[in-house]
Chains A and B, each alone.
Chain A
Amino acid sequence: METTQLPDEIKPVMENGVPAEVSSCSADGIPNTTIISQVYYVDREHVALSFQFFNKTVRNVRENPNASVLLNDPYGYACWILQVRYDHSETEGPIFDQMDMQIEAIASATGMTGIFKLKAADIYRVDSVRKVTLKRPSTDRS
């Protein structure tokens, strides 16, 4: 199933499914996969990723805006694969504030203040979303 509209059922996955995996590719074709603490639901067509460290992902998407996000939903025995395209970065506004607040809450509670710090909310347009349902482990041991 492919769609450019995010379904409602993905919202709790985004809230609870950290960490997510983000894959990007440089202009010269070198891929990179990393884990990311926060994928934020912006609207049905957009998500935001936290830009905390100037890493390869940040550099790659500014060269090549195409990326994919893998969201794990261990409670639903599923994962979601989003094909996204980097659109722009926000350093203020409600989306940035909400993401910043969550990071600040976690960082201050875990002794990571100054390390977890939101530099920008990178806004991505969702090109496609796909849910992959996993087979539940059998409880029948006989």
Chain B
Amino acid sequence: MAQEGQASTTDLEERLAAKAREVRVLQQVSSEINSTLDLDEIFDVVLRTMDELFGFHHSMILLLDATGETLSVAASRGYGSQADGATVAVGTGLVGVVAKKRQMMRLGNLGRQRAYVSTIRQQMEQAGRASELSESPALPGLPDVEGQIAIPLQIKDTLIGVFFVESVEQRVFSERDEALITVVANQAASAIHNARLYRAEAERSSELAEAHERLKQLNETLEDRVRERTLELHRANRELRETQAQLLQSAKMAALGDLAAGVAHEINSPLGSIHSNADLTKRVAAVVREALTDETAASVVSRYPRLEQALQSLEQATATTLVASDRIVRIVKSLRNFARLDEAERKKADLHEGIESTLTLLQHRLKRGIEVIRDFGELPQLVCSPNRMNQVFMNLLVNAIQAMDEHGTITIRTRLDGDQVVLQFADTGHGIPRENLERIFDPGFTTRGPGVGTGLGLPITFRIVEEHRGSIEASSEVGKGSEFTIRLPIGE
């Protein structure tokens, strides 16, 4: 009896010591699992603990995906790469059923179970019931497994995954093993949940930080963007005003063209009569003059001294009429030429002809005290919009006349420079101050008083030259004059 009592006490002491060891191990595992918020580290601690401390060499952690229908292997130990990326449908196999029922379960003696299933299958096949059978699903795990235990990983009532341990040894999982594994699984579930929360929080913090940074950058660049936008608006406004001015100018040119065409048509007929009559009168006067050289006629004329005077007056008047009518013909031609309404928008044109037409129309302002020097080179005909180019010449020449108070010299030089036509308009006027020189092509900029200048002549000139893929530059010296240089490609 005493020996039996001693054995019983020793057994109890051993069991107590074993229990104490288990508690220490579990405390250590718990401490390790909860010391990190890194998911991979948690997986590693859990699986390593199973392997090294409890001797379960094959285990895996499967996590439920967002659909709640599939579990994916998040980490495994003892399977090599076999379990990497493997999935299990909820409801299939031990893991899937444990996830579905949310209850721990262990299965043993699976080798004999497989043999039993195999026998049943054979019997069914022999009985002609093979069609009722289906293929076994591919599940991650050991092919020669004997024991399995699966524990749902849950936080309160929410399933997050399944902890799965397998063994090829028979009768490996006892109730005690089940209790130990369950404790570790519960610790793991809690740690995985915390790590996920931490990761989500970190991601949210990161997103917030990024959003904050973007906002900060946006604020920093806001002023620049406002400035850019304002400049764009200014630019758009300027373009709008230019376009409006061009439309106005085009309308004026169209009206002028109509008028010129009408006037030319109306004048041409009477002008023809005047011109031909004057010519006839001139020829008649010549006949009379020749007739008067005859001696008989001379004796008669000598008695009428006023006849000679009348004849001279007639000759002079006829000559004057012819000169005047020639001038009218020239002016009408210039009017038509300037407007060019009867011509296509773009065509080959002689720029000298355009310059001369413009000068003719400005003759009444030039003749008062302005000398025009033409230094024309040889120019090819240029594909352009002739009446638009005439606007350019008109704007530049009117500006030059105004700059010289209608007294001075305008020099017009033309030359060919490589594949460019160069046109220069120089005057001896007041010149343009340096501070204004950069702004003269800005719409609305004018140094003349209100109502005198629109400030649109040079911007329109600039735009027209640009439309012809050319360039215009201005140089000036106050008190000496200004020079505008236009370069136009002869490409077309």
Residues of A within 8 A of B (CB): 11-12, 15-19, 35, 37, 75, 97-98, 101-102, 104-106, 108-115
Contact = CB atoms under 8 A, between A and B. Distances in A.
B9 interface: no
Interface stretch (B64-72, B130-138, B358-366, B456-464): B130-138
A17 B170 CA distance: 11
Interface in B284-313: none
A111 B139 contact: no
25 contacts: A11-B175, A15-B106, A15-B108, A16-B109, A16-B170, A18-B113, A19-B112, A35-B116, A75-B171, A101-B97, A101-B101, A101-B105, A104-B91, A105-B107, A106-B113, A106-B117, A108-B91, A108-B92, A108-B96, A108-B97, A110-B117, A111-B133, A112-B133, A113-B134, A114-B132
A53 to B, nearest CB: 10
A97 B101 CA distance: 9
Given A35-B116, A75-B170, A111 B136 contact: yes
B120 A102 contact: no
B304 to A, nearest CB: 147
Interface of B: 91-94, 96-98, 101, 103, 105-109, 112-114, 116-117, 120-121, 124, 132-137, 139, 170-171, 174-175
Nearest to A73: B171
Contacts, number: 74
Top 4 A-B pairs, shortest CB-CB distance: A16-B108, A16-B109, A109-B93, A105-B97
A111 B97 contact: no
A110 B132 CA distance: 13
A108 B93 contact: yes
A105 B108 contact: no
Given A18-B112, A75-B171, A105-B93, A112 B107 contact: no
Contacts of B120: 112, 115
A110 B107 contact: no
Given A18-B116, A105-B94, A105-B105, A12 B135 contact: no
Contact of A109 (B103, B116, B137, B175): B137
Nearest to B106: A15
Contacts of B108: 12, 15-16
B133 A12 contact: no
A111 B109 contact: no
Nearest to A76: B171
A35 B117 CA distance: 12
Contacts of A114: 132
B163 to A, nearest CB: 15
B135 A111 contact: yes
B136 A102 contact: no
A106 B132 CA distance: 16
Nearest to A114: B132
A110 B113 CA distance: 10
Residue among A104, A105, A109 having the largest count of chain B Cβ atoms under 10 Å: A109
B11 to A, nearest CB: 15
Given A101-B97, A101-B101, A112-B117, A106 B107 contact: yes
Nearest to B172: A16
A37 B103 CA distance: 21
B164 to A, nearest CB: 12
A102 B105 contact: yes
Nearest to B116: A19
Q: Which of A19, A37, A105, A106: most chain B CB closer than 10 A? A: A105
A98 B98 CA distance: 11
A105 B94 CA distance: 5
A114 B124 CA distance: 13
B45 to A, nearest CB: 28
Contacts of A108: 91-93, 96-97, 137
A18 B116 CA distance: 9
Contacts of B109: 15-18
Nearest to B115: A19
A11 B178 CA distance: 14
A17 B116 CA distance: 12
Contacts of B97: 101, 104-105, 108
Contacts of B96: 105, 108
B126 to A, nearest CB: 15
Nearest to B97: A105
A102 B113 CA distance: 12
Contacts of B112: 18-19
Given A18-B109, A102-B107, A114-B132, 18 more contacts: A12-B171, A16-B108, A18-B113, A18-B116, A19-B116, A75-B170, A98-B103, A101-B97, A101-B105, A102-B105, A105-B107, A106-B107, A106-B113, A108-B137, A109-B136, A111-B133, A111-B135, A115-B120
B454 to A, nearest CB: 90
Given A12-B171, A108-B92, A101 B116 contact: no
A16 B124 contact: no
A104 B93 CA distance: 8
A12 to B, nearest CB: 6
Contacts of A37: 113, 116
Nearest to A104: B97
Contacts of A75: 170-171
A105 B139 CA distance: 12
A46 B321 CA distance: 147
A106 B171 CA distance: 17
A111 to B, nearest CB: 4
Contacts of A98: 103
Contacts of B91: 104, 108
A75 B108 CA distance: 12
Contacts of B137: 108-109, 111
